[in-house]
């Protein structure tokens, strides 16, 4: 008999908006059902973020034990539209947006790019609703890409992020990290603030973002939309390389990791930048494994972000696997930055085990990161740089990257383990695994590693 382990619920485009009753009655990620008569297990995983958000089936041989390592909040139903509207209308630490915008003429809204899974298109209508109520004309609402040191977005990408209706009604522009920058002085840490001119000169300034664990600020989103989001390259580079963090414990006395979202000098520089720019209103979104909003907080860019982070740190937390012969890491919904997810392969892996990383994203690893390109370029040739990479998983018997879209450039990426092999057919992946593992094989699956993180706590004081 085959067990079918469902990693996620069906995509919204195939089943419509799920009701809370239906969600709780059975459309919960991780449900188990019978499959065909051929033996083995089938794991259903969400793939193709931003390109259909498909549900794909991944088959494993008979007798192999498959466990799915879900985050704590995986059964949380998505918010209904009315709940999102209420969240936008009920800010923390600020006046309602319609009151902030009353009597004003122009608005600039910074939003993150496709490397972030934020379902911004679900939030935008309720922000626009408030601006229209304040008398702001559609043509005077400008969206600004806050891509930081990533590559600039094109019209198709922006339409995916904001929704077709939004790009038809409102103008948008790409931020430019090299030019068109307003000089806003120097921060306490000595960072020369160069910020997007179009954004800084708007009467009302808004940010829209989502939360995901991030090594620099603790959690992405919030003030990160300003620095690095719409900052100049000089400002971005200074924050990352010149501002040093004080040495602090990385874990509590109980061994639980601490996400530094307050006692963090780099993050404090981000906050100062956001205050200096004068961000009036911010919306933070925590989403589930299907990229659907489960928690939305609006208001002050710091207070709203902190409130959302307190929710996210439990919602996204995931128990690591134990003693797995094979660890499967699904990069959804953040395959554009696949390099961030390899570390999951070692979490719970036995010595001599196999790591499989799935990235069924047609765009693959994003094409450029100006900060990283600058960091890795040490005057070496491309080929010398590639040869200088160090093996990352000496305990693994093999590291496989599966994607039907895999290109040679991704295997050469400076962040990718040099021992990784690319495979473009899932049946070939299984054949390679069968060649190395026999008998009682335990497979652990991280079904949406792009947003999952381990058990952690925040360093936030209560008053923030």
Q: Let me know: does 427 contact 52? Beta carbons within 8 Å.
A: no
Q: Domains, the chain, ranges and CATH?
A: 3-75+339-398+407-417+440-454 (no CATH), 81-315 (3.40.50.11440)
DSSP assigned state of 274: H
Q: Let me know: does 259 contact 313? Beta carbons within 8 Å.
A: yes
Predicted structure pTM score: 0.92
**Exposure string for 318-339, b = 16+ CB within 10 A, e = fewer:** bebbeebbbbbbbbbbbbbbbb
With tokens 């000595």, the residue in question is: 190
**In whole angstroms, what separates CA 361 from the centre of its chain?**
14
DSSP assigned state of 17: S
Q: How many CB atoms lie within 10 A of CB 178?
A: 10
Tokens of 79: 């918010």
Identify any residues that bridge with 425 across adjacent strands, giving them in sequence order.
none
Query: In terms of Cα–Cα distance, which of 12, 11, 25, 22 is closest to 56?
Result: 11
Helix (H, G, I), strand (E, B) or coil at 14: helix
Residues in the chain: 464
pLDDT in tens, the chain (464 residues): 334 333 333 333 332 333 333 333 334 434 333 355 557 899 999 999 999 999 999 999 999 999 999 999 999 999 999 999 999 999 999 999 999 999 999 999 999 999 999 999 999 999 999 999 999 999 999 999 999 999 999 999 999 999 999 999 999 999 999 999 999 999 999 999 999 999 999 999 999 999 999 999 999 999 999 999 999 999 999 999 999 999 999 999 999 999 999 999 999 999 999 999 999 999 999 999 999 999 999 999 999 999 999 999 999 999 999 999 999 999 999 999 999 999 999 999 999 999 999 999 999 998 888 888 887 777 889 999 899 999 999 999 999 999 999 999 999 988 899 999 999 999 999 999 999 999 999 999 999 999 999 999 999 987 76
Distance separating alpha carbons of residues 140 and 106, to the nearest angstrom:
5
């Amino acid at each position: 008999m085959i067990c079918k382990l469902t990693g996620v619920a069906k995509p919204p485009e195939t089943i419509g908006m799920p009701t809370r009753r239906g969600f709780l009655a059975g459309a919960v990620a991780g449900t188990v059902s019978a499959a065909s008569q051929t033996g083995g297990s089938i794991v259903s995983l969400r793939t193709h973020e931003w390109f259909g958000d498909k549900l794909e089936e991944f088959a494993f041989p008979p007798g192999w034990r498959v466990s799915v390592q879900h985050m704590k909040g995986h059964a949380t139903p998505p918010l209904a539209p009315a709940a999102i509207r209420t969240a936008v209308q009920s800010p923390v630490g600020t006046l309602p947006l319609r009151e902030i915008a009353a009597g004003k003429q122009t608005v600039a809204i910074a939003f993150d790019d496709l490397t972030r899974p934020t379902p911004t298109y679900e939030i935008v209508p309720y922000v626009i609703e408030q601006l229209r109520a304040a008398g702001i004309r559609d043509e005077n609402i400008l969206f600004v890409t806050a891509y930081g040191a990533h590559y600039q977005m094109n019209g198709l990408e922006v339409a995916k992020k904001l929704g077709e209706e939004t790009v038809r009604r409102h103008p948008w522009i790409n931020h430019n990290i090299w030019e068109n920058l307003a000089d806003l002085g120097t921060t306490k840490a000595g960072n020369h603030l160069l910020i997007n001119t179009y954004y800084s000169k708007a009467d009302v300034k808004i940010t829209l973002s989502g939360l995901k664990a991030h090594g620099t600020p603790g959690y992405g989103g919030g003030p990160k939309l300003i620095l690095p989001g719409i900052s100049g390259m000089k400002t971005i580079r200074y924050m990352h390389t010149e501002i040093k963090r004080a040495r602090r414990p990385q874990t509590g006395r109980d061994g639980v990791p601490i996400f530094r979202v307050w006692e963090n000098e780099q993050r404090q520089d981000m906050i100062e930048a956001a205050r200096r720019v004068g961000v009036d209103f911010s919306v933070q979104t925590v989403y589930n494994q299907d990229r659907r909003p489960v928690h939305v907080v609006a208001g002050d860019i710091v207070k709203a972000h902190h409130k959302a982070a307190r929710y996210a740190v439990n919602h996204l937390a995931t128990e690591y696997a134990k003693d797995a012969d094979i660890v499967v890491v699904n990069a959804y919904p953040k395959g554009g930055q696949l390099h961030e997810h390899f570390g999951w392969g070692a979490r719970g892996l036995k010595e001599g085990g196999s790591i499989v990383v799935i990235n069924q994203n047609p765009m693959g690893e994003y094409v450029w990161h100006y900060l990283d390109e600058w960091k890795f370029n040490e005057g070496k040739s491309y080929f010398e740089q590639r040869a200088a990479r160090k093996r990352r998983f000496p305990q693994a018997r093999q590291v496989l990257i599966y994607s039907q879209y895999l290109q040679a450039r991704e295997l050469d990426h400076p962040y990718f383990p040099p021992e990784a092999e690319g495979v473009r057919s899932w049946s070939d992946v299984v054949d390679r695994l069968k060649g190395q593992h026999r008998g009682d094989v335990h497979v652990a699956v991280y079904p949406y590693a792009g947003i999952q993180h381990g058990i952690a706590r925040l360093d936030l004081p209560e008053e923030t």
